[in-house]
Amino acid sequence: MRYAIIGAGMAGMLAAIKLLERGCRDLIVYEKGHTIGGTWRENTYPGLTCDVPSHSYTYSFELNPDWTRTQPPGHEVQAYFEAVKEKYGLEEWITFNEEVVSCVYQHGRWQLKTASGRQDSADAVIAATGVLHHPRYPDISGIDAFQGAIFHSAEWDHSTPLDGQRIAIIGTGSTGVQLVSALSTRASVLTHFQRSPQWIMPVEDRAYTTHELARFKNNPDVLQSLHYDEELESNIERYTAAITNPDSEAMQEIETIVADFLAMAVTDADLREKIRPDYRAACKRLIYSPNFYQAIQRDNVEVLVENVTRIEAKGIRGADGRLREFDVIVLATGYKPHEFMRPMNIVGSNGTILNNVWRDKPVAYLSISIPDFPNFFMLNGPNGPVGNFSLIEIAECQWAYIEQLLAELETGKCQEISATQQAMAEYEHARVEQAKKTIFASGCSSWYLDSKGVPATWPWTRRDFKAAMQKPDLTHFLTVGNAMNRP
């Protein structure tokens, strides 16, 4: 079988490594960028840090003794993936600077076209195109008139000076919070525009000592115990249990921690009330930060809780009518999260067009397979677990599941495999009903919500997710033909 993997980020690299491990030598990875890394290649903003602990944000088969901090800085994550690419010789299999623009199922094979006009075909496609990669630009009047530097957090302009500059950060997601923390000590003036203040979860982010680093290098058991840290595992289980049951004790515990942190860390009562969210903790993705509250209490930092509606040549006109002048405006305004592989034109069997199937919202059986799109599998596809735990772990679980479907094809049990319409409909119905009960639906805006306001996430616990990924129920899949009859 010939495989095409789309995307050489964390998930695409995983698929390539695993296929090579299975002995597959007929595969190609298409990557639109100039190197691997996906989100970690694209995001290079100051303060970029992964909020999942370093040793958890690591492939289970490639533990990393070299993480220098408990929370990995973005550049170290990118360096880690580069090192994995080298070790597994992935360069040989990846075609860079080739964006797949079309993927059409014809005569039992996927026909691919790239932006440069290259054509290819494959028996199976693995879409590993990521979730958050289409920056969302805010619709703010006058934005084009600004004479200073203005850019989205995912498109950082490294030629723009920051030290001693007057900087505005728009947005209070994980990105805005990390940016404010990092730039508050560098800017002469930093103004943080928070349309919706966020609950902040305290987290330790410290450098490992030389003694610890030596232990990681010399003792694989120590590394292993950090990767599967029992305390962290039980915290994650508790966290996902809390998300799925907003009335649980576990949820109350989270609410107490973040409320106490706000009370303790923000000493000015006016500021404290100004930034107190009016929705429940974890309704939006929970933000972990060791130093954000400290940053916003610096003398050079101002917090404005408002929607930015007017940018002018010299700065931002606030709700108070005052023009604040800036040298740099950063749009930490997030992403369009429901695009996935699009704008790629994807056409399944019988001419089924993905854009039509996904007109209302992206759906996939267990986030992995779409009816009428045979032998097309997604890693980190729609409605998956996007809470505060490692997407690497999630992708590994999904791969273990996909591999079993591939085995059906490889061993000749069938020629085509995709979820049945019935399995898709039943799964999506159950998912939506449960999603409406999660904390994400408790009354806030967030990128987790679909166009109807329903959380586009895996709504059960992490344990449930792992159980679901153990073994495909083949009665939920439509299998066609016998691969032995392949022409």
Smaller CB distance to ligand NAP: residue 421 or 445?
445
In a 10 Å sphere around its CB, with 0-12 CB exposed, 13-18 middle and 19+ buried, how is residue 417 labelled?
Answer: buried
**Residue 308 CB, nearest approach to ligand NAP (Å):** 4
**Residue 179 CB, nearest approach to ligand NAP (Å):** 9
**Residue 57 CB, nearest approach to ligand NAP (Å):** 8
Residue 480, amino acid: V
Q: How far is CA 212 from the centre of its chain?
A: 29
Q: Which residue has the tokens 């495999």?
A: 417
CA-to-CA dists, residue 335 to 79, 136, 446, angstroms: 24, 4, 11
Handedness of CA 469, 470, 474, 480 (dihedral sign): positive
Smaller CB distance to ligand NAP: residue 95 or 196?
196
**Residue 53 CB, nearest approach to ligand NAP (Å):** 11
Smaller CB distance to ligand NAP: residue 1 or 79?
79
**Residue 194 CB, nearest approach to ligand NAP (Å):** 7
**Residue 136 CB, nearest approach to ligand NAP (Å):** 7
Smaller CB distance to ligand NAP: residue 19 or 316?
316
Strand partners, 3: 27, 124
Smaller CB distance to ligand NAP: residue 165 or 194?
194
What are the residues whose beta carbons fall under 8 Å from the beta carbon of 325, sequence distance 6 or more? 166, 314, 315
**Residue 170 CB, nearest approach to ligand NAP (Å):** 5
In a 10 Å sphere around its CB, with 0-12 CB exposed, 13-18 middle and 19+ buried, how is residue 164 labelled?
Answer: exposed
Residues that bind ligand NAP (CB under 6 A): 49-51, 132, 138, 140, 170-176, 178, 193, 195-196, 285, 307-308, 332-334, 445, 447
- Which residue has the CB atom at the shortest distance from ligand NAP? 173
Q: Do the beta carbons of residue 138 and residue 308 sit within 8 Å?
A: yes
Smaller CB distance to ligand NAP: residue 43 or 375?
43
**Residue 470 CB, nearest approach to ligand NAP (Å):** 26
Q: How far is CA 385 from the centre of its chain?
A: 10
Smaller CB distance to ligand NAP: residue 307 or 422?
307
**Residue 331 CB, nearest approach to ligand NAP (Å):** 8
Smaller CB distance to ligand NAP: residue 140 or 406?
140
Smaller CB distance to ligand NAP: residue 334 or 455?
334
Q: Do the beta carbons of residue 201 and residue 293 sit within 8 Å?
A: no
- Measured CA angle at 251 (ends 246, 254), to 5 deg: 145
Q: How far apart are CA 314 and CA 306, in angstroms?
A: 19
Smaller CB distance to ligand NAP: residue 88 or 156?
156
**Residue 103 CB, nearest approach to ligand NAP (Å):** 26
